[in-house]
Homo-oligomer: A and B are copies of this chain.
Amino acid sequence: MYVRRGIHVHHLLRDSWPFLIGVSLWSGIVVYLNEILELRFLSIPIVPVTTIGIAVSLYLGFKSTSAYSRWWEARQVWGAIITGSRDWGNSVLNLIYADGRKLDPAVRQDLIRRHIAWVHALAFQLRARSRLKAAGATYAFGRRLIFQDADYHQTPESYRRLLSAEEIAEVEATGNIATHLLRRQGDRLRELAEQGFLDSYRHVAMMAMITALFDGQGKCERIKNTPFPRQVANFGLMFTWIFIILLPLAFVDSFEAETALRSMSEEASLDYLLLMIPFTLLISWVFHIMERVSDSTEDPFEGGVADVPISALARTIEIELLEMMGAGDVPDPMQPVDGVLY
């Protein structure tokens, strides 16, 4: 997630230059074919192109809205995970008790540490696979691969460091590590209930917290595993390109009409038509970027620049829960890298 208010120009150019060169070339070719080779076929009336421009804008508006909703839902789910975590910490400390007996503090610490492990395991499961190609530098719409370490949830060490070897072995034998960590929390609660530290009522209340965490996990997995409908996304892209390709064909026609209207000399006409190139560039870049923006918010867990910063949020949870149980080894909050928080 970009935290700088403005986007760096060089981050943007790293993404946009092939587009800018490509469209300039295409516009240049259209002018050349029209004016030098006089292939007047290659110019079309502008009104239909305008219509398709509006239809494409509407389609991109639909795509942007839907993609943004996915992104924001992802952030909301992680907000709920933070709330669930604070709740878990508060309840582990204050809802488990029995008349006249004292609970071993190690039991509470174990429940909290396993919870932190669950948060990191979930982040790891979301981040480990990515459809984006990793790059060595920050692109406005790309993924930067400088983080081959556990902090950024690229390796299983992210959660392993908080678990015993026995527990690692057990959960890694299953298809979904996070699910089985939560189930193990359920097992611990049952033991506490059987030992009398939880009555039925408080037991159910704490099981309901696990349900809330299962809910957060399931929602993240839904967003990760269900890509934005490919038909919507792909045709959005195709329509944008159809518009961009038709644009110079229509502009050449409009600009030519201008030259006729003003009865320019042939040379002046050519100069004037070349002027078409930057304008085409500007307008098609606007559509291109609209498409890229919606594409970039569509998948919020790919480790890209526009990601929901789940590594930073997982760290926040770890800090708060460690502080709650008065632990001494509290890490620092994560910092943005090159203006981007991951």
How many angstroms from the CA of A27 to the CA of B289 in the assembled complex?
27
Residues of B within 8 A of A56 (CB): 286
A154 at the interface (CB under 8 A from B): no
Complex contact B61–A59 (CB within 8 A): yes
Complex contact A205–B202 (CB within 8 A): no
Residues of B within 8 A of A323 (CB): 174-175, 180
Tell me whether A55 and B57 are in contact in the complex, defined as CB-CB below 8 angstroms, given that A75-B226, A207-B90, A289-B235 are known contacts: yes
Q: Which of A64-92 contact B (CB under 8 A)?
A: 64-66, 68, 71-72, 75-76, 79-80, 82-83, 86-87, 89-91
Tell me whether A282 and B50 are in contact in the complex, defined as CB-CB below 8 angstroms, given that A80-B218, A183-B89, A287-B55 are known contacts: no
Complex contact A242–B286 (CB within 8 A): yes
Residues of B within 8 A of A264 (CB): 40
Complex contact B51–A176 (CB within 8 A): no
Q: Chain B: which residue is nearest A286 at the CB level? A: B239
Residues of B within 8 A of A232 (CB): 64, 68, 293, 297
Complex contact B229–A193 (CB within 8 A): no
A214 → B minimal CB distance (Å): 5
Copies in the complex: 5
Q: Is the interface of A mostly helix, strand, loop or mixed?
A: helix
Complex contact B202–A202 (CB within 8 A): no
A75 → B minimal CB distance (Å): 5
A134 at the interface (CB under 8 A from B): no
Complex contact A231–B306 (CB within 8 A): yes
Complex contact A211–B57 (CB within 8 A): no
A253 → B minimal CB distance (Å): 7
Tell me whether A48 and B48 are in contact in the complex, defined as CB-CB below 8 angstroms, given that A94-B186, A231-B140, A323-B175 are known contacts: no
A117 at the interface (CB under 8 A from B): no
Residues of B within 8 A of A296 (CB): 231
Residues of B within 8 A of A131 (CB): 5
A275 at the interface (CB under 8 A from B): yes
Q: Chain B: which residue is nearest A6 at the CB level? A: B234
Number of A residues with CB within 8 Å of any CB on chain B: 129
Residues of B within 8 A of A141 (CB): 231
Residues of B within 8 A of A157 (CB): none
A181 → B minimal CB distance (Å): 11
Complex contact B226–A176 (CB within 8 A): no
Complex contact A2–B320 (CB within 8 A): no
Q: Which of B53, B65, B214, B255 lies in contact with A45, CB distance below 8 A?
A: B255
Complex contact B57–A58 (CB within 8 A): yes
Q: Chain B: which residue is nearest A210 at the CB level? A: B90
Q: Which of B203, B222, B330 lies in contact with A79, CB distance below 8 A?
A: B222
How many angstroms from the CA of A51 to the CA of B190 in the assembled complex?
65
Q: Chain B: which residue is nearest A324 at the CB level? A: B183
Complex contact B41–A271 (CB within 8 A): yes
* A315-342 interface bits toward B, Cβ cutoff 8 Å, 1 = contact, 0 = none: 0000110011000001001000000000
Could you list 7 further interchain pairs (A-B, Cβ under 8 angstroms) beyond the known A205-B207, A229-B306, A231-B297?
A2-B231, A40-B262, A44-B279, A52-B283, A55-B286, A179-B320, A231-B296
